[in-house]
Amino acid sequence: MRSRPDLQVYFRPGVPIPGRTFQVDARFESKSETPVDGVSIELLGTELVRVPRGKSEARHMRTHVHLRSEQPGKVFSPGTHVYSAMFQLPANLPPRHAGRYTVIDYTVEVRASIPWWPDAVRKYDVPVGRIPENPATAPGVFVSRKGGPAAGELYAELSLASTVVAPAGHVVGTVALMNASKERGVRISLVGYEHVFVNADFWAGGNIDEMREVYRYNFAPQGSKPREGEAIPFRFAVPPTIPASFTAQMSSLIWVVEVSTERLLSWREMLRVPITIVPSLGARGEAPALVPAVGRARRSQSFQAIAERLGLVYDAAAEQMHTRIGQVHLLIAVEARADGNLATVATISWPALGMNFRVAPSSWTDAFSRAEIEVGIEHFDKKFHVESRFVEQARAFLDAAFCDLILGFDEASGSDDNLSLLVNVALSDAEALASFTDRAVRAAALANAALGRIPPPPAFEPHENNWKVYTEKLGGRYEAGRPAIVDGTLGLERVSLATEWTSDNQPAATEIRVDIGTRIDPAAISPAAHTAKEALELTGQPVLITEDAVILRVVPAVTDPQAIEPTIESLVRLSHLVRGRGAAGPFRS
């Protein structure tokens, strides 16, 4: 009498891999002679997504693979009968997954059709795996804001030894925060999201594109109270049962490393970095924990690298870089501003211009300022307030190229001997810092070129050559803005001449200054010095003796300094007498 045979099924391999062959062996054990019309072995792979919609849910299904093997039947005599089927699996199959919103399922159904008798049917789950991978495991640095922290804005940097990990492996990295004075702690999380994306018409529920959290593993690094810019290292284990990343027709499983900060009553997500979880890293195993620097350490590395690339000098102790271009010195550093936020600042300094120059951001009070001038470049004049004794001098200094470069920075301010250019972030990214440094170097070069363009005040234009000739005679530095001669030498004494101006920009006097070279007590000068001082004052000009200089004002301002050389020589002789007696006083250095 016929009977339904027992059935056992074997898979080879036990975990089928997409893109490879998969063999199914069906072993029938018959207890009697039983006619069989045929044997079928069917492989079916489907993807089902379910997304809540109020009290119901939207459901969509897709078929990934449907393969069938049909084999002719026979009369099963008592004993064992084996049927086999070989399937070539598509290479793009996602792995089996039983998630909250996505189910990817593979089954094999084996059926022996028995006429006039219940068929022998069994269905088996197939644990389709993932194609073996050997992905790159290079370390990486990730930031919450490209370019660095903005003023007053909490900012995070995360470095990972690898963005590819395996179950039972480790996530290894470092995190650093800036502008974090209000943060009480840091949390690192490994978070899994099921991303459902379906194109469907209105009657099928419409399109779906939603990301839903389905896994979360939290880790609090030791000593995670953040300190400004300091790195907090972490290392935590990945659960051994964690599912691998995948992408299917309507869904994907995405893993991220998430950085959150703790405030008084809440957590704030700062940064999410996608990572890939693979079933196994194979014989290679985990990568060495080579974690890139973050925070202040990363900024220092960037400063050093950019200084070397662009030819600047890096000062590791001060965390700054500097260079000199002609008469101009450039210094670049990260500085704390008055509001406590950090900025990257390029300070360009030069010998004083002598023209009462000032540049600052525009404000509503500029409308009431009689000192403001326009340099003739519309966008620059709208953004900045500029002052100078004479407009011609400011326009010569701030030409179009210089103004355009200054406009590229977040803020700029300056005076007669310096200009500060800044961006409102503490730059750590090497390329952003390189761009800033390159612009600062070009600004310094333009400033150096501008120093030679400054004309003398209009009243002194016909006499400029007189000042230049006498500057050369004294071996000093000519300052066209006033004009003045700085750090000249007559005999062995340091001599300076400078034109003084009234509040309404009229030349008032020429000040002659001879440095004594030591500190003296003006009240203890010798009788000979008193006599020489009184003789000089017979010309009608008072002589001032200070602790370190002898000063005489010549009124009116001179247009040819050579003409007052006898007066300068008399002042030099007075400095000799003053130093000879006064150096013995209580201010001796």
pLDDT (0 to 100) of residue 87: 96
- Where helices occur in 452-564 by DSSP H, the ranges are 464-474, 527-537
The Cα 285–Cα 281 span in angstroms is 5
Judge contact between 126 and 23, C-beta under 8 A. Answer: no
The Cα 455–Cα 482 span in angstroms is 10
Across all residues in the chain, what is the average pLDDT?
89
pLDDT (0 to 100) of residue 287: 52
Cis peptide before 586 (omega within 30 of 0): no
pLDDT (0 to 100) of residue 585: 40
Average of pLDDT values for 304-326?
A: 93
- Position 17 pLDDT exceeds 60: yes
| Residue where the block lists tokens 């234009």 | 461
- Position 204 pLDDT exceeds 90: no
pLDDT digits (tens, 9 = 90+) for 535-577: 888 877 889 999 999 999 999 999 999 999 999 999 999 999 9
- Position 441 pLDDT exceeds 50: yes
pLDDT (0 to 100) of residue 272: 94
Three-state SS string over 260-318 comes to EEECCCCEEEEEEEEEEECCCCHHHCCCCCCCCCCHHHHHHHHHHHHHHHHCCEEECCC
pLDDT (0 to 100) of residue 139: 84
Judge contact between 144 and 156, C-beta under 8 A. Answer: yes
The Cα 479–Cα 471 span in angstroms is 9
- Position 583 pLDDT exceeds 50: no
pLDDT bracket for residue 155 (50, 70, 90): confident
Among candidate residues 378, 398, 505, 510, the one with its CA nearest the CA of residue 449: 398
pLDDT digits (tens, 9 = 90+) for 269-279: 999 999 999 88
pTM: 0.69
pLDDT bracket for residue 491 (50, 70, 90): confident
Identity of the amino acid at 467:
W
pLDDT (0 to 100) of residue 256: 96
Average of pLDDT values for 62-78?
A: 93
- Position 294 pLDDT exceeds 80: no
